[in-house]
A and B are shown apart, each in its own frame.
Chain A
């Protein structure tokens, strides 16, 4: 085991290379660029022996991954923001074709106005594509989640693509230490990829052929069931990795000081980590508050949120907004509670456009939330 002191992007690249994908296809976009540059360095040094395809767009990057995965290869790509949006059609394709592509997405603002900082609207707008979605809060978690993502995606009961999200700059360009296990640990954990189905010239099949309504329903339902399986497998795989590497960041959620809490803050990504500092401060001041950081947004951890609702009132902080509705995490949290728990759920939209959200902001939001009406969602930190 070695300690690597590097940025989230370069640690994600390290994890991807150690998973030994046979094909990587990617197109650079800020703030993902240094991730694919790091992979190019592994190629240049001869440390990565797979096929590295420099494509002409993100749509092509995902299309190349789909082709390679359909031919039975382990595949990896990375993108961000507008790049992810350009992939949209192919994201549906990868999931409907049941191809276990693993991708890092660096959460970045969508323009206009042009802005390269963090917000989660890019990946949240892809939540219905069938991809499993993780949100990381540290560089160590990025490394561990990328490795686990391959295991999960390729599991015979899942066979779905997985998106590992990390915040622009706050993680992608910030150096933090991460412990890197031996290559043999990763090899043993992942094993060799054996495709559940693949294109084979000796046994030709039509892939993506026309299917009538009677079978199409089956395809959709099978994807939904695969996500339900993933819900059970994510904690299992996290525990397996803990045995192999010693690292654990939670299953579907990470709980922080929730014991005895009367209020629980829900958030995702690096802001979820910032919340821990706020919780420490608030508890010191005698407040009964804990944190549940949502690591996995798809599949959505409905049962776990009901359990939280049976313990405490929930305060949801979203770094995204479904325009005309609400923050996605707030919306789905309330939907999970419906008919199951009488918890008061309130929320905030905060940190859009990369606006800094510090632990002091989170403390302020908590204090404000105490007087919120149920279902109330406020915008936090507005200039005007």
Chain B
């Protein structure tokens, strides 16, 4: 990647150009794979594209970029996603 010699706010369009925005999260979505119906409503509604869809339609969450908005948990028709408070970072 080309680096500019001056430090200012410039970024190239690429995954994670803004850094790992998952660090902003207060509540973390946790999927209960046993309850999950693989309907992909969460995948449709996630505003950040942080729901990963696998070949068999099973899902996982990209915690590097999930900001913890909770839309997936709200939209889940079988209540398979719960929001848990992030533990305070250990110092």
Contact = CB atoms under 8 A, between A and B. Distances in A.
Interface of A: 96-98, 156, 159, 196-197, 203-212, 214-215, 218-219, 222
27 contacts: A97-B8, A98-B7, A98-B8, A156-B5, A159-B6, A197-B5, A197-B10, A203-B2, A204-B12, A204-B13, A205-B11, A205-B12, A206-B10, A206-B13, A208-B9, A209-B9, A209-B17, A209-B18, A210-B9, A210-B18, A212-B18, A214-B19, A218-B7, A219-B8, A222-B6, A222-B7, A222-B8
B11 A206 contact: yes
Interface of B: 2, 4-13, 17-19
A196 B6 contact: yes
Pairs of residues from A and B, 6 with the lowest C-beta to C-beta distance, nearest first: A222-B7, A197-B4, A98-B6, A98-B8, A206-B11, A209-B11
A209 B14 CA distance: 13
Contacts of B5: 156, 196-197
A207 B10 contact: yes
Nearest to A97: B8
Contact residues of A: prevailing secondary structure: loop
Contacts of A209: 9-11, 17-18
A200 to B, nearest CB: 10
Contacts of A210: 9, 18
Interface centre among B4, B6, B9 (most CB of A within 10 A): B6
Nearest to A206: B11
A206 B13 CA distance: 7
A71 to B, nearest CB: 13
B12 A219 contact: no
Given A196-B5, A209-B18, 20 more contacts: A96-B9, A97-B8, A98-B8, A196-B6, A197-B4, A197-B5, A197-B8, A197-B10, A204-B13, A205-B10, A205-B13, A206-B17, A209-B10, A209-B11, A211-B9, A212-B19, A214-B19, A215-B9, A218-B7, A222-B6
B6 A197 contact: yes
Nearest to A223: B7
B2 A207 contact: no
A378 B36 CA distance: 78
Nearest to A210: B18
Contact of B9 (A156, A204, A214, A219): A219
A367 B13 CA distance: 65
A206 B8 CA distance: 11
Contacts of A96: 8-9
Contacts of B10: 197, 205-207, 209
A205 B11 CA distance: 5
Nearest to A219: B7
Contacts of A215: 9, 19
B52 to A, nearest CB: 24
B65 to A, nearest CB: 14
Contacts of A97: 8-9
